Structure 1
Amino acid sequence: MSELPMSELVVRDLQRSFGGVQAVGGVSFTLRSGDLLALIGPNGAGKSTCFNLLNGQLRPDSGSVKLDGTELVGLPPRRIWALGVGRTFQITATFASMTVAENVQMVLLSRARRLFGLWRPAAALFREPALALLERVGMGSQADRPCGVLAYGDVKRVELAMALASEPTVLLMDEPTAGMAPAERLALMALTAELVRERGLAVLFTEHDMDVVFGHATRVLVLDRGRLIAEGSPDQVRADPRVQSVYLGGEA
């Protein structure tokens, strides 16, 4: 069995303001292979802004984001993606009129930098690896259905397969279970935890469902008004008085 690749995303003193409002203020953390790291906080805490800074959609006012020693600040999102930082979004980003398999094939084509040839339909390219990824996320039986007819939870699984098709070492998942039923949420994050172990992924995810966070995260970061107020194991964070005050409603 081959050794799993190891990656490290090091974030130091990340800052971004919009006008006079500091959305992210001095955020620092390290994400390593095998981590399933939750980033939580109240609405408006800066979670999505932080994600957008990590994958190049926004540029920080100051700070550093390094992947295995390579500085990512200033690079365009596609370059960061090519270096191994994948992402899923709050709102699913699939092509509704294309089949489930074709959605995954599109990512594989892009990753391989292949152009569509007139002598061979794009739908014939990378079909087998696409089917293998869909089988892994539990969507193999629906490979030839249009994405537009799927249940929302199934679309989320397709999006996960698309993210894996880019062969990331770091995966950013922005509210991956938003809009899903409770049982679907737990199942999707259980699958993600399995993939972390199997592939040596480093995953950072945001989430509002505390059952998902405390049931699956290996570590938890808590943001409030753009600043980290707590970091640690799920048990440590749940017991932190500051977290209870600003986010958990005083629960012990």
Structure 2
Amino acid sequence: MTEILRADTLRKSYDGFLAVDGVSFSVREGELKALIGPNGAGKSTCFNMLTGQLKPSSGEVFLRGARITGKRPREIWRLGVGRTFQITGTYASMSVAENVQMALISHHRRLFGFGARAWKLYRAEALDLLRSVALDDQADRPCSVLAYGDLKRLELAIALSHRPRLLLMDEPTAGMAPSARIDMMQLVADVVRDQGLSVLFTEHDMDVVFAHAHHIMVLNRGKLIADGNAEAVRNDPRVQEVYLGGGTLFKEARDA
């Protein structure tokens, strides 16, 4: 598989404290890759450097072989990198479809001059995106009445509106019921398969990670301590010791 993203020796320091310390990894086309670790491990800092929200203290980020270090978030978005956040951000007063239409208007550079016609623009395309996340039956409902899991699906549709080739998802199942978490990640896995999309995601739910990730990376205190398939990560003594205190929960995940 072709490499779509590469992080090369990323470091981020705050007043001498290394939040991310020499992290290197890659994501390949069509790969669903997880980045896990205890709270404070550096996952969000790492994500923010990949998307241009933070500038690395040192190191480089490459997208399809081209250096993107130092580019602004919108420039990176235009290059085909989407992102979802741990806390959803939608327009509560707008309908589900209108939220996606606004994203499409931005993608097509129609933010200025559309006036009162905005509700007509890209309606069919918005409905297609909502259909891809099983939300088309709620297209005309206001976002303010949606269940939290449906808001997560809507955020995914919005992230897909500019046809990204790489999607970064920060805890996509946070705040969802256990059964809804599995459904959400199955939906993401289906999108990866159907669209050839690459996804890098952070997650605390080990059932979600082990059920769906093709490869798993583990951060601890800013350092990457493991990178491999589920079985290799489960059996890594360093991961068992520093992430789950001797491996008890890993054993439960394996035996479940």
Bin of the TM-score, shorter chain as denominator length: over 0.9
Task: Give percent identity, aligned residues only.
Answer: 62
Picking from 19, 41, 45, the partner of 2:37 is: 41
In structure 2, the partner of 1:211 is 207
Q: Any unmatched runs of 5+ in structure 2?
A: 252-256
Matches within 5 A, 1:117-132: 117=113, 121-132=117-128
- Mapped partners of 1:40, 1:123: distance in 2: 40
**Cα distance, 1:6–1:236 mapped onto 2, change above 3 Å:** closer
SS of equivalent to 2:234:
helix
Amino acid at match of 1:60: P
User: Which deviations, in whole Å up to 9, do the C-alpha atoms of 1:21-65 show, x marking residues without a partner?
Assistant: 100011101101111000000000000000000000000011111
SS of equivalent to 2:107:
helix
User: Which deviations, in whole Å up to 9, do the C-alpha atoms of 1:96-150 show, x marking residues without a partner?
Assistant: 1111001111111111101354675101000001001101101001001111110
- Mapped partners of 1:100, 1:178: distance in 2: 20
In structure 2, the partner of 1:12 is 8
Q: Any unmatched runs of 5+ in structure 1?
A: none
SS of equivalent to 2:13:
strand
- Name the count of aligned residue pairs: 248
- Mapped partners of 1:85, 1:202: distance in 2: 10
In structure 1, the partner of 2:190 is 194
- Mapped partners of 1:119, 1:168: distance in 2: 27
In structure 2, the partner of 1:134 is 130
TM-score by length of 1: 0.96
In structure 1, the partner of 2:102 is 106
TM-score by length of 2: 0.94
In structure 1, the partner of 2:254 is none
- Mapped partners of 1:28, 1:119: distance in 2: 46
Measured on the aligned residues, the alpha-carbon RMSD in Å equals 1.4
- Mapped partners of 1:132, 1:97: distance in 2: 22
Picking from 236, 244, 247, the partner of 1:248 is: 244
- Check whether the contact 1:6–1:200 (CA below 8 A) recurs between aligned residues: no
- Mapped partners of 2:80, 2:2: distance in 1: 12
Picking from 43, 59, 68, the partner of 2:64 is: 68
In structure 2, the partner of 1:27 is 23
In structure 1, the partner of 2:49 is 53
**After TM superposition, where is structure 1 displaced by more than 3 Å over at least 4 residues in a row?**
115-120
SS of equivalent to 1:121:
helix
- Mapped partners of 1:35, 1:248: distance in 2: 25
- Check whether the contact 1:24–1:49 (CA below 8 A) recurs between aligned residues: yes
Amino acid at match of 1:181: A
In structure 1, the partner of 2:149 is 153
- Mapped partners of 1:240, 1:164: distance in 2: 35
Amino acid at match of 2:231: D
